[in-house]
Structure 1
Amino acid sequence: MEIKHLKIWYSWEKQEQMIERLVGRVGLTRVRATCFLRLWIYAIAKEGQVKPPLSQLIFPTTAIICTHRQASDLFYQDQDQGSDRSAGMMLDKLAALGLIEKFFDGNTTRIKIKPITGILEPDSSESSVELQLDQFNPRCDAIPVANLLTGNYNWMNRNAEAIPHRISRLLRGWAKDYTTGMRVLRRVDNLNPVGFYLLYPTANESEGNFFSSPNKSLHLSAINEQEPFTMASVGDENCLSVFIRSWMIDANYLEKYRLIFLQDAQKTLQRMTLDFPNLCDLHTLIIHPDYEKLAAALGFQKTIQESPNSIYWMYLGLDRFLSLDMREIQF
């Protein structure tokens, strides 16, 4: 199927809306979301149960033949690079993320789109729930927050099974040492956290990590079993840097609560300067590409990046961040 035929089946405007929803709800990168959506439309067309144009996507009920060559044409025909092999790897990644089922009988590859709960219609009941700002509670919040954060790592196709346990263990350990920089947005009705950030005061001896390979600092994944950073002790005058180890909100609540969560981060950093009087630097590691736009809007700049499309460090002076009027930022 050519790209122009995708438009006949499902308009560009609707494709863009669905890609944004997929990225927010499923934890995909934009590239993978685009490939998945094209595959989805292709599967609907191949099944032959409906005619274009589609007013809404549907989930095909049967598996359809899709060779690596067909997938490559579908994914990469409007790009300068892309191969049958890379298309096969993309199919494997989409299968690993639970978006498709992939079958191979020795001769032919078949794929089936798996139903994604709540993706065809925005969940209005979720977005209408009221949230409140609160301090992170290691006894009750560690596991829900760990599951919330795991989506940032799923897109890298790592050992996803090991990640939630590791994250919850690290969160509880950090909370014992310094909980001021750990904040949540929680639902008022059931108190479950749906947003979380972690502002980590970094000991002087760990600052070199901000100027070295980002891959060495994948602190919440199962890649590095050894913690690469040391937390500064309260009152440490040599502590200059805060590592924004996490900042995220469930996509259902992002638009409504992004502003107040950022403003809360400013207030938290102000409180942290009382414990660490010489703080002046903010560093963050862009794990998921979707957060680059937010960081750039706030003024963060890329520093260390090993290769295009890889994870990378971003930096902003603390004073610059604290002086921002968040209401004027165009996100």
Structure 2
Amino acid sequence: MNPECIDQHFPPNQQSRYINQLLNRVGLTRRRAQCFVRLWVYLFLKEQQAAQRSLPSPLRQLGVPQGFLPCTHREAAVLFYEDQDRGSDRAAGLMLDKLVALGLINKQFDGNTTCIQICLLPEFQAESEAAEQPTTAIDTFNPRTDTIPVANFLARTYNWLNRIPDCTSHQIAKTLRRWSQQYPQGMRVLRRCDTLHPVGFYVLYPTAASSEERFFMAPSKSLHLSTANDVDPIEVAQPGDLTCTSVFVRSWMIEPSFMTPDQVIGMLEDAQTLLQDMQQQFPNLCDIHTLVVHPFHEELTLSLGFHKTGQDPQMPVYWMYMALDRYLALDLGAIAPKLKLSYATNTQDLAFAGRS
């Protein structure tokens, strides 16, 4: 995405509408508001282009980019000072710092790249919520069409949470395809009905008895998707294995723009159905284990009845456990009104379980 081209996609008159809505904020001059809106437009377009999503041109309104996206000071200078001579990279960096201080953006630097997150502001919350939500459906993971899109949004989350440069989409894609060969029925996606693009994903992984000791060891020893290690620390059980008693939730994620109680409950109910089917293949299945790394995920798992069983001594991750029979007996419709999604919508992607 070329920062010089944003006016073609979101014209200045549309930008002015957003700028004017921001001017009542303390400390926010028109110039700073203009820089913020142009940065917002650029990162939103950059995100959509990376995801290969088609957009109307010109855009009628802006969506909020999900999580941290790379933006160099050179790119910011082109955005902020497109018609001026005095816009240096250093000046652009100082403007970014002012926008951080004003609570408009978050910024982080991993040693190589500056990454920016646009904050969802109250001025635009109602507009964002009023935007039409595409219809979705839960479907079987298709390794031919879903691997790359799912790997991309998993990689964004893992790189943001762990700041592990080696956690690449390529590495994750290889793991997803390997899992789809081992136990494909355990992989599910939340799919947009208009584009068929996956916007949510989860994996239920029947665990071989030889790997069950992992659930009683330091959680970091069982991380897999978020590492560059080709060796999977957890072995899958084969259908009909009478020694298999545990299922591991290896991933459970929804993109924040689709994070609603209905979507969450829909995926949880789908997991109930899948677990009932798994019981036919693994008659002695009785335990659910998962890994949690974020306060929202703790809130969600606790509301379902999970409890902590092991804390990692070096990383902010821990095991949580729930009896399978308890989960299958849940009235998820009654839980929906109690769900708190504030943490999830302030993170890059919801990743409730199993960064593994």
- Please give the secondary structure, in 1, of the residue aligned with 2:184: coil
Give the corresponding residue for 2:292: 286
1:326 matched to 2:332? The reply is: yes
Separation (CA, whole Å) in 2 of partners of 1:145 and 1:126: 24
Distance 1:66 1:151 in 2: 22
1:128 paired with 2:128, answer no
- For residues 234-256 of structure 1, the C-alpha deviation after alignment (integer angstroms, 9 at most, x for no partner) is 10010000000011111111114
1:225-281 CA-partner distances (Å, limit 9, x unpaired): 321010000100100000000111111111141111111110010011011111000
Residue matched to 1:26? 67
Residue 237 (1) aligns with residue 232 (2): no
Which deviates more, 167-176 or 299-308? Answer: 299-308
Unaligned runs of 5+ in 2: 1-24, 29-63, 70-90, 340-356
Distance 2:284 2:293 in 1: 27
Counterpart AA for 1:176: Q
- Tell me the alpha carbon deviations over residues 31-73 of structure 1, each in whole angstroms, 9 at most, x when there is no partner: xxxxxxxxxxxxxxxxxxxxxxxxxxxxxx8433999xxx9x9
Partners of 2:108 and 2:115 within 8 A in 1: no
Matched residue count: 249
Percentage identity across aligned positions?
A: 44
What is the CA deviation profile of residues 71-100 of structure 1, one whole-angstrom value per residue up to 9, with x for unaligned ones?
9x999xxxxxxxxxxxxxx9545985612x
Q: Return the match for 1:298 from 298, 301, 304.
A: 304
TM-superposed CA distance for 1:162, in Å, is 3.9
Is the counterpart of residue 221 in structure 1 residue 226 in structure 2? Answer: yes
Q: Which residue of 2 aligns with 1:201?
A: 206
Partner residue of 1:98? 115
Q: Which residue of the other structure, out of 183, 186, 209, is the alignment partner of 2:188?
A: 183
> For the residues of structure 1 that align with 2:138 and 2:170, how far apart are their CA atoms?
25
Q: Which moved more, 1:129-138 or 1:308-317?
A: 308-317
Is the contact made by 1:162 and 1:222 (CA closer than 8 Å) also made in structure 2? yes
Please, what TM-score do these two structures have when normalized by structure 1? Answer: 0.66
Q: In structure 1, the residue corresponding to 2:115 is in which secondary structure?
A: coil
Q: Does structure 2 conserve the Cα–Cα contact (< 8 Å) formed by 1:195 and 1:250?
A: yes
Question: Which aligned pairs between 1:28-67 and structure 2 lie closer than 5 A?
Answer: 62-64=92-94
Flag the 1:133–1:97 CA change in 2: closer, same or farther, 3 A: farther
| TM-score normalised by L of structure 2 | 0.62
User: Residues of 2 paired with 1:290 and 1:97: CA distance?
Assistant: 26
Amino acid paired to 1:98:
C
8 A contact 1:215–1:311 mirrored in 2: yes
Compared CA separation, residues 286 and 126, structure 1 to 2 (3 A): farther
Q: Is the 8 A contact 2:209 2:244 kept in 1?
A: yes
Cα deviation code 1:83-141 (max 9, x no counterpart): xxxxxxx9545985612xxxxxxxxxxxxxx7x4x955454587510001110001111
Q: CA deviation at 1:177?
A: 1.8
Give distance in 1, aligned partners of 2:65 and 2:271: 22
